[in-house]
Amino acid sequence: MSDAPLLFFDSGVGGLSVVAPTCALLPSAPIVYVADSAGFPYGTRSEAEIAARVPALLGRLVERYRPRLVVIACNTASTIALPVVRAALDVPVVGTVPAIKPAAELSRTRAIGVLGTAATVRQPYVDDLAARFASDCLVLRHGSSALVELAEEKLAGMSPSRRLIAAELAGLFDQPGGNRIDVIVNACTHFPLLEDDLIAVAPDGVQFVDGGEGIARRVAHLTRDQNWPATMPKHRLVFTRLGDREHRIAAALATQGFAAPENL
């Protein structure tokens, strides 16, 4: 159906960093954006919790919204639950993985940082990516739940503390060899929302990369030759818990074409 949406799923608002490049490629695509605010943040939860929660929620969401494609716009959920979700759903599912390959291609010092949630950076999937695409690099990792919270607060209208952001980056740069880092992977979809602040406090010349544009190209490829609605409807915004912060975020997103928030 031409009005079947693309469904983006994250624990919070980080997946909006993937929605933006997707809409740039597919401006007529209707979007359903789902934030699992009742389960937020995923980065501090156990693998078992995420592996059970994400497939169950996505099953309900696919049944309700009948999307043509699902994007798990969350590195933590993707690295833990993506195979189970793909096996359970009868629609294409695109995951989000740390952009270690492009980071290694960019690095001149052969030292890269992987900045994600604690749950993401400890995954064997990250070990595999580093071994396959950055075997000649020093790959340092740091898990930060504080940056996730700061990104959520920024979208809710609060100015993030650059002092706190600098302290989180120090978790990479203060490791042995960290002074050599010239490329940092934003391995959480929340972190590109803070990119201006990250660049401002990082040493000169350090680049940040993420997978948003690559995911957008993958979505465009998988939906090539499909029909889209002639009249663009408002994007839908769904939370699994609708509290004060979610209402503030919804108010900010209203200016970006999102309808009033829904509660799952």
Active site residues: 74, 188
- Tell me, what DSSP letter sits at residue 1? -
Using H for helix, E for strand and C for coil, what is the string for 164-233? HHHHHHHHHHCCCCHHHCCEEEECCCCHHHHHHHHHHHCCCCCEEECCHHHHHHHHHHHCCCCCCCCCCC
Helix or strand run (H / E) with residue 16: helix 16-25
Angle between helix axes 75-88 and 47-65 (nearest 10 degrees) is 60
Contact 118, 145 (CB under 8 A): yes
Q: Is 178 exposed, middle or buried (0-12, 13-18, 19+ CB in 10 A)?
A: middle
